């Protein structure tokens, strides 16, 4: 019997492409659906790439049928928080409405397993430094709200059908493939380690630090940074869990400890060998002082064992990839 297909939406993007790489190395039968608005065809190392949108019912239905898909990993989304505030309908349209369409197509096609790329932004500003899966969900921007609405739809569909799901709530994803085959190539990126690496290689003039008066040890915000390859592995473990009969669940994806902005900058300077220029700026509205994942559940449910819990290693893979992009730019 031929192996069933796996659909990866947004599989040409940063996180999706790293998951595709790991799935491909396992011999999975893959089809990637991506409109390439922020992704890159060069990032798709395995499977068949279909250029299109998750909102295209006919296209999605045809893919699910032709590839006999029984598992969907859904990454396709807009992810820039400030843009979601200035253009909320763009986020509700792509992140929420298109996810509803994808879920309907999955239901109609009899898909059994669904893994959803969610975010710590669903927590908003937690009462304490740690956010657990049982913490209240109170997003403070349309990006987080659009993802939370998708979580609700997935929860309710699973309750009404035999589809089982895993929702993975990402904290701060960073780094690139240690083998250097793919990496974070997002244009106009806003994530701290990516931006710092761009400054280090001369793509940007300086790094802006937003807020130096937080009630943290050095006054800058503290976040939980997870290497993208460890995050990709969490998706692999989640798929195995569902295929083995696991019940629907929601899991945080982080390391359970955080680093401040200043600690990240120090690591970049050490790995780079030269200090990067930094400008201190006022706080941005809505940024919590500290946001770190409570991670007991993902370890217990998936027996997940991260390999790259090392800030300097995360930074090194980011810098290595940034230097490679200078020599071999993508999407040009």
Question: DSSP E strands: which ranges in 4-51?
Answer: 5-9, 29-34, 48-51
What distance in Å separates the CA atoms of residue 110 and residue 320, rounded to the nearest whole number? 42
How far is 193 from 198, CA to CA, in rounded Å? 9
Please tell me whether residue 125 adopts helix, strand or coil conformation: coil
The answer to whether 9 touches 150, Cβ cutoff 8 Å, is no
Determine the 3-state secondary structure of 68 from DSSP: coil
Determine whether 123 is an active site residue. Answer: no
* Inter-CA distances, 245 with 100, 112, 123, 159, Å: 24, 10, 28, 15
Q: How far apart are CA 173 and CA 176, in angstroms?
A: 10
Q: Which DSSP string do the residues of 229-283 spell out, in sequence order?
A: HHHHHHHHHHHHHHHTTPPPEEEEES-S--EEHHHHHHHHHHHHSSPPPEEEEPP
CA nearest to 172, candidates 239, 121, 211, 207: 121
| Centroid of chain to Cα 283 | 24
Radius of gyration of the chain (CA): 19
Give the SS3 label for residue 127: coil
Name the catalytic one among 123, 143, 241, 259: 143
Q: Which of 262, 238, 220, 232 is nearest to 24 (CA)?
A: 232
End-to-end alpha carbon distance in the chain: 41
User: Which of the 8 DSSP states describes residue 148?
Assistant: H
Rounded Cα gap, residues 258 and 223, in angstroms: 5
Give me the active site residues, please: 143
């Amino acid at each position: 019997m031929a192996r069933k297909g796996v659909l990866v939406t947004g599989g040409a993007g940063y996180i999706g492409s790293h998951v595709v790489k790991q799935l491909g190395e396992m011999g999975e039968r893959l089809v990637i659906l991506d409109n390439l608005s922020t992704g890159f065809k060069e990032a798709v190392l395995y499977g068949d790439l279909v250029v299109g949108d998750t909102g295209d019912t006919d296209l999605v239905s045809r893919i699910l049928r032709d590839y006999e898909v029984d598992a969907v990993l859904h990454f396709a989304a807009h992810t820039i928080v400030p843009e979601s505030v200035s253009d909320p309908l763009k986020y509700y349209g792509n992140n929420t409405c298109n996810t509803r369409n994808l879920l309907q197509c999955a239901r109609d096609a009899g898909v059994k397993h669904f893994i959803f790329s969610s975010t710590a932004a669903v927590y908003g500003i937690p009462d304490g430094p740690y956010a657990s899966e049982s913490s209240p969900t109170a997003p403070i921007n349309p990006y987080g709200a659009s993802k939370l609405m998708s979580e609700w739809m997935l929860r309710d569909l699973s309750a009404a059908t035999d589809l089982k799901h895993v929702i993975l709530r990402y904290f701060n994803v960073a780094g690139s493939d240690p083998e250097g085959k793919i990496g974070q190539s997002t244009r106009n990126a806003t994530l701290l380690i990516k931006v710092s690496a761009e400054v280090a290689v001369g793509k940007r003039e300086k790094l802006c630090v937003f807020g130096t008066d937080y009630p943290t040890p050095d006054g800058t915000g503290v976040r939980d940074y997870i290497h993208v390859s460890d995050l990709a592995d969490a998706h692999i473990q989640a798929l195995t869990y569902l295929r083995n009969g696991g019940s629907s669940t929601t899991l945080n994806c982080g390391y359970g400890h955080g680093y401040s902005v200043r600690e990240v900058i120090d690591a970049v300077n050490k790995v780079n060998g030269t200090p990067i220029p930094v400008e201190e700026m006022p706080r941005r509205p809505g940024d919590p002082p500290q946001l770190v994942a409570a991670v007991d559940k993902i370890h217990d449910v998936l027996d997940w064992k991260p390999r790259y819990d090392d800030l300097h290693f995360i930074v090194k893979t980011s810098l290595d990839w940034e230097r490679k992009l200078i020599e071999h730019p993508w999407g040009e």
